[in-house]
Amino acid sequence: MQMHYVAVPEPGPPDVMELAVGPIPVVGDADVLIEVAAAGVNRPDVFQRLGKYPPPPGASPILGLEVAGRVAEVGRDVAQWNVGDAVCALVAGGGYAEYCAAPAVQCLPLPEGVSVVQAAAIPETFFTVWTNVFQRGRLALGETCLIHGGGSGIGTTAIQLAAATGARVFATVGSAEKCSVAVSLGAEDAFNYHTTDFVEAVRDRTKGRGVDVILDMVGGPYVARNIQALAIDGRLVQISFLQGSRMELDLHPIMTKRLTLTGSTLRPRSVAEKGALARDVHEHVWPLLESRRVRPVIDQTFPLANVVAAHRRIESSEHIGKIVLTVGR
Ligand SMILES: NC(=O)c1ccc[n+]([C@@H]2O[C@H](COP(=O)([O-])OP(=O)(O)OC[C@H]3O[C@@H](n4cnc5c(N)ncnc54)[C@H](OP(=O)(O)O)[C@@H]3O)[C@@H](O)[C@H]2O)c1
């Protein structure tokens, strides 16, 4: 059996991608095969297309880290899913296709009241935010956090989940429109980094104390400034380094302010770790989605055949929230 999928014959700009025909993935004993209705687009897909983020060993080489659709086949050892179930799934690759294999433990039911397009935009960002802001960053009720990239898929998710936890939330963004969206999602204030120094702004809003948790994907010159913006016992959680990971840094404040510098990547973790994370997200985040206290912010959808336009849009950074590919047969 054959399917359409997005091929990247060589690393390069968005227009290297093309629709191709290839075999439907083979389903392992602990996997399900999903007939994909929608697939989320994430910044790491851009890095993979550019040849800078190869899939981990054993993962599908096809782009795409999250999908939603219906279960079309179940592996021999899978008891929790049946053919026809509506699911969304975190995958280590393979999402930009008509069919995608996923470990059964990395699938979750569609939250009630959430469309299949919205569901496809959930796993990669919500799992990433949960494990970084709450597990590593230990953000708690009454604390204060700063979310960089507040208009991104990750940022729009982090603002909502942090606000739902009862934290005070600040965000940095690159435009006035993104400032308004960040505030509408629950941020107390959002700072346009083109015009506002976030260290000064955060100190001002916290009466000089600083913030307890910072989620950062910028790195480079932000690292030293993040350390300045953290409160005593603050935690800096690094999920990317868009402006570089090498710098000269004075680490003395780690000692004097008792700071924690941490970070993580999701994709290379084991199926067992991702399964445990899926259970946590199901327990803590699904009720927030079903009560509509949080929702994936969808910027735009594109048909799978129009994947080049979808990648041009994410690379423009004009989008707010998530871009989703729709897959119709
Ligand atoms: N560690 C993990 O497990 C993990 C998992 C998923 C994603 N990530 C990372 O998290 C980040 C956000 O992912 P996403 O899919 O949500 O991305 P996204 O929606 O494309 O958002 C990235 C945002 O970052 C800002 N930006 C882009 N280039 C920048 C640069 N050079 N310097 C500063 N800001 C820049 C832009 O916002 P402005 O216009 O406001 O500047 C852009 O909208 C990415 O870096 C991605 O690699 C990490």
**Contact indicator for 154, 170 with CB cutoff of 8 Å:** no
- Residue whose CA lies nearest to ligand 1 atom number 5: 128
Whole-angstrom CA distances from 202 to 167, 209, 228, 230 are: 14, 9, 10, 9
Token pair, residue 303, equals 């048909």
Q: Is 53 helix (H, G, I), strand (E, B) or coil?
A: coil
* 314 CA closest ligand 1 atom index: 20
> How many CB atoms within 10 Å of residue 110?
21
**For 61-71, how does the pLDDT look when each residue is reduced to its tens digit (9 = 90+)?**
999 999 999 99
Residues 4 and 326: beta-carbon distance below 8 Å: no
Report helix, strand or coil for 284: helix
What share of the chain in percent tops pLDDT 70?
A: 100
pLDDT digits (tens, 9 = 90+) for 189-214: 999 999 999 999 999 999 999 999 99
Closest by CA to 49, choosing from 39, 64, 38, is 64
User: Is 322 close to ligand 1, i.e. is its CB under 6 Å away?
Assistant: no
The 8-class DSSP code of residue 132 comes to: I
How far does residue 274's CA lie from ligand 1's centre (Å)? Answer: 22
- Whether residue 111 contacts residue 87, with contact meaning beta carbons closer than 8 Å, is answered with no
Q: What is the distance in A from the centroid of ligand 1 to the CA of 7?
A: 23
Distance, CA of 208 to CA of 114 (rounded, Å): 41
pLDDT value for 328 = 84
Question: Ligand 1 within 6 A of 206 CB?
Answer: no
Parts of the chain with a pLDDT under 70: 329
Q: Residue 10 Cα, ligand 1 centroid: separation in angstroms?
A: 23
Q: Residue 314: what pLDDT?
A: 98
Kindly state the tokens that stand for 94. 């393979």
